[in-house]
Structure formats: C-alpha cells, structure tokens
Structure 1
Amino acid sequence: MATEHKITATSRTDEGKGASRRLRHAGQVPAIIYGGGAEPQSIQLEHEKTWLASQNEWFYSSILSLDVDGKAEQVLLRDMQRHPYRQQIMHLDFQRVRAGEKIRVSVPLHFLNEDASPAGKAADVVVSHEHNEVEVSCLPKDLPEYLEVDLGELSLGDTVHLSEIKLPAGVEIPELKLGKEHDVAIVVARHGRVEEEPAAEEGELDADVPATKVSDDDEDTGDSAAAEGEEGTGEDK
C-alpha cells in the first residue's frame, strides 16, 4: 500500500494577479483545486514546506492528502509554475480524485541492479535509459509511487521494452493498447564509442632526428639573425 502524503493548505477568497503577488511576498503559494464533481476552490500553502515537499519524487506522482481548513481531499498535482530563476513556486494546480474512477498518472521508473549486470560491468558498453517515467492507468487505490525495472541480466545488445515492465495488480499502461509500434524501448545496452588514437603529425615523425642534423642553410639563417641582433643592440646604445 502506498504511503500517505499529507499537505496542509488554507482556503482563500481574494483572487487575481495582485492578490497572488501579495501571497508570494508573504511566503505563501497560491493554488487551486478542481475536478471531482465539485466547484474549483482557491487555496494557499506555506512556501517553505511546499518547496521541501516538491524536492521529493512522490510529490509529482502520488495521491496527496490535501488538508484544507481541516477537511482532507485526495488530489493529484497536475501543474506547477516555477519562477524562471529563483527557487520559488509561483502556482500549483491540484485535481481531485474519486475512489471509483480510473486516473492516468506518469510514474517514475527505478532501475535496479544495473551496475551488477554484464552490461554494467563492461567498460565498453553504454546503458541508455530511453525513458525515466511511464504513464499508467488505474484506480487511485492501486497507484504505485514508482515502477521497478530489474536490469540484473542486461547484456550487450539487449533492449528492454515497455511491455517488459512488471505491473502491480490493477495497473496498466495505456500506450501498449495502441499497437506493437508503441512498445518502445526504455533501456538499451550498446557499444560505447572507442576513440581512435590520432595519427602522428609529420613533425612528430622527425622527433628522433638529432638536433645536430641541421642544414647549412638553417645555420646560415641563424648566424645572420644573431648578427642582426648584435647590430641592432649597438644602434640602441
């Protein structure tokens, strides 16, 4: 059974951009609850506590017990607006859920035993996670916080598809009902790129030639340069 996650909120009556700005300045997050056969309700939450909750995976994929003025409602987070560069939540949308109605939620994938697998142990193999979450359909009571994918037997050339995910009872992946072409890869083990050693430069090929093997022309050039340097020094004096 999934862990119950409680979030506390209070109702609010003032709405509009100005009211939302005042709430944010006061350390609150404006939010709304909708759906479930009831009227939308404007609420506010403490920003610090909400921010801490938002750092957890469950905040985005689990049913939350939202306590509004002492009355608990079962909701899902459907939208979060963040400030473009501050660590600030600007607005939240919650959707009510009903016990007897199926919901669609994207849940995270947890990949297990990858490092212990043949592919994970090989230095020249790259294991790519093509998807880190998947949308499931189920009743609220059956919603998993995450789905596990065991990669313990993964070897070079293996591909794990969507249909290979083990699902709890009452949970299905709607994408698989659309046809075989929707049974996409979620993990692929392929050869990594092996960088070739750069070809030796022409100058590097002559590196073993002794320094004394200098042409007469080069010596003359060096002597002339030295002489010109001496003459120049004398003029400066």
Structure 2
Amino acid sequence: MATTHEIQVQRREDEGKGASRRLRHAGNVPAIVYGGDLKPVSITLSHNDVWLASQHDWFYSSILSLSLNGDVQKVLLRDMQRHPFKQQIMHLDFQRVNDKEAIRTAVPLHFLNQDSSPAGKAADVVVTHELNEVVVECLPGDLPEFIEIDLAELAVGDVIHLSQLKLPKGVEIPELKLGKEHDVAVVTAKHGRVEAEPEAEGEASAEVPATKASKDEE
C-alpha cells in the first residue's frame, strides 16, 4: 500500500507575478492544485517545509496529502520550478488523484547489494545503471515510493531488463506493452576498456614509410 505524506498548505487569493514575489520574500512557495472534478485552486506552502520534503524521493513519487485547515486532498507533484542558481523553489504544480482511477508516474529505482555482487567485486568490471527511475501505472493506493533491484547475483556480462523488475502487486510498466524493443536495459555489467600494450623498446616497425625507404636507397 502506498505511503501518504501530509503537508500543510494555505489558500491564496492574490494572483500575478507581484503577489508571487511577495510570497517568496515571506518564505513561502506559490503553487496550484488542479485536476478531478474540482476547479484549480491557488495555494501557498512554507518554503522550509517544501525544501526539506524535496530532499526525499517520496516527495516526487508518493501520494501527498495537502491539508487546508483539515480539508485534505490527495495529489501528485507534477511540476517543480527551481531558481536557476539559488537554493529556492519557485513554484509547484499538484494534480489531484482519485483512488479508483489509475495514475501514471515515474518512481525511483533503488539498487541493492551491488558492491557485494560478483560483478561489483571485480576490479575490471563496470556496472552501469542505464535508468534511475521508471514510469509505472497503478491505482493510487498501490503506488510504490521506489522499486528495489537486488544485484547480489549480478555477474560479468549480465544485463537486467525492464521486464525482469519485480513489481509490487497491481503495478505495471506501460512501456512493456509497446513491444519487445521497449524492454530496455536497466543495469549492465561489462569489462572495462583494456588499453593497448605499448610497443617494446627498440622493436622495429612492421612497415617503413615510403619517404624513409627512398632516403635509405640513395
């Protein structure tokens, strides 16, 4: 079952860039909630609360409960605008979810036991995470915060594809319905590049350039 996280919000009446700037100067983040049968609503959140939440995977892939004076709406984060160089969140978009309607969203991948695997222990092997997240489809109540991939048995030459991921009950990867060519690699374990050995000192070249040969014949 999906874990929900409650965040306190306030409704805002003022609109426009000026009002948003005032909110940010006061330590808040303007946001909007849309979707479902209700009209879009403009809200504001504490920047400190949002910033702390944004450091966790669950903020991006879990069902969030926005609480407005006890009125709770379940939502997903759909967009986040950050300041280009300051550690500041500028705006958030939330989409309402219905417990009975399937949603489609990206969830992070967590890789376990890589260092203790045969491939992880080998000095000349490179383990590559081709994907760090995957788009899933499920009911809101089945949404996982992340999907674990156990690499304990990963050996040299192994490739783990999307179809090999162990998904929670009720969760699907819609990409796999589009054909075998969409069953892309998630993890690969390959030998690193082997550099060519330098020529032994004093070893004669196999070929002599024509210009050199002509001078020798003079």
Higher helix share: 1
Q: Which residue of 2 aligns with 1:95?
A: 95
Q: Percent of pairs identical after alignment?
A: 71
TM-score (norm 1): 0.82
Q: CA deviation at 1:80?
A: 0.1
1:139 correspondence with 2:139 = yes
The structure with the largest alpha-carbon Rg is 1
1:177 correspondence with 2:188 = no
| Amino acid corresponding to residue 56 of structure 1 in structure 2 | H
Task: Output the CA distance in 1 between the equivalents of 2:191 and 2:179.
Answer: 29
Q: CA deviation at 1:196?
A: 4.5
Q: CA deviation at 1:2?
A: 3.0
Task: Output the CA distance in 2 between the equivalents of 1:197 and 1:41.
Answer: 66
Q: Which residue of 2 aligns with 1:148?
A: 148
Q: CA deviation at 1:193?
A: 1.9
Q: Which residue of 1 aligns with 2:85?
A: 85
Gapped regions of structure 2 (runs ≥ 5): 203-218
* SS of the residue 1:106 aligns to: strand
Range that drifts further, 181-190 or 67-76 = 67-76
Task: Output the CA distance in 2 between the equivalents of 1:174 and 1:187.
Answer: 19
| Amino acid corresponding to residue 5 of structure 1 in structure 2 | H
Contact 2:28 2:45 in 1 (8 A): yes
Q: In structure 2, do the counterparts of structure 1 residues 198 and 48 end up closer, same or farther at CA, with 3 Å as the change threshold?
A: farther
Q: CA deviation at 1:4?
A: 2.3
Task: Output the CA distance in 1 between the equivalents of 2:147 and 2:76.
Answer: 18
Q: In structure 2, do the counterparts of structure 1 residues 200 and 13 end up closer, same or farther at CA, with 3 Å as the change threshold?
A: farther
Q: CA deviation at 1:200?
A: 7.8
Q: CA deviation at 1:195?
A: 3.6
Task: Output the CA distance in 2 between the equivalents of 1:99 and 1:4.
Answer: 12
Gapped regions of structure 1 (runs ≥ 5): 203-237
Runs of 4+ in structure 1 off by over 4 angstroms are 196-202
1:71-220 matches, within 5 Å, as 71-196=71-196
1:18 correspondence with 2:18 = yes
TM-score (norm 2): 0.89
Question: Cα deviations across residues 157-201 of structure 1 (Å, max 9, x unaligned)?
Answer: 110000000111110000000000000000000011234565688
Range that drifts further, 67-76 or 81-90 = 67-76
Q: Which residue of 1 aligns with 2:213?
A: none
